[in-house]
Amino acid sequence: MLTYFLFLIPPMLLAMLAQWMVQSSYRSMSRVPSRLSGAETARRILDSNGLYNIPIEQTPGHLSDHYDPSSKVVRLSPEVYQGYTMSSVGIAAHEVGHAIQDAKSYAPLVIRNMAVPVANFGGSIASMVMMAAFGAMLVGASKLVPLLMLVAIVGFSAVMFFQIINLPVEFNASSRAKTELVGLGIISHQELPYVSKVLTAAALTYVAATLQTVAQVAYYVFQFLLMTQSNRD
Ligand SMILES: [Zn+2]
For the cut 70, the answer to whether the pLDDT of residue 233 exceeds it is no
Residues with CB under 5 A from ligand 1 (ion): 170, 173
Nearest residue to 187 via CA among 17, 5, 37? 37
How far CA 148 is from CA of 8, 129, 132, in Å, comes to 21, 6, 7
Rounded to whole angstroms, how far apart are CA atoms 8 and 212? 7
Kindly write down the DSSP assignment for every residue of 33-45, as one continuous string.
Answer: B-SS-HHHHHHHH
Determine the distance separating the centroid of ligand 1 and the alpha carbon of 92, expressed in angstroms: 10
**95 carries an active-site annotation:** yes
Determine the distance separating the centroid of ligand 1 and the alpha carbon of 91, expressed in angstroms: 9
Residues 142-180 have pLDDT tens digits of 778 888 888 999 999 999 999 999 999 999 999 999 999
Neighbours of 70 (CB within 10 A): 6
Residues 20-77 have pLDDT tens digits of 999 999 999 999 999 999 999 999 999 999 999 999 999 999 989 999 999 999 999 9
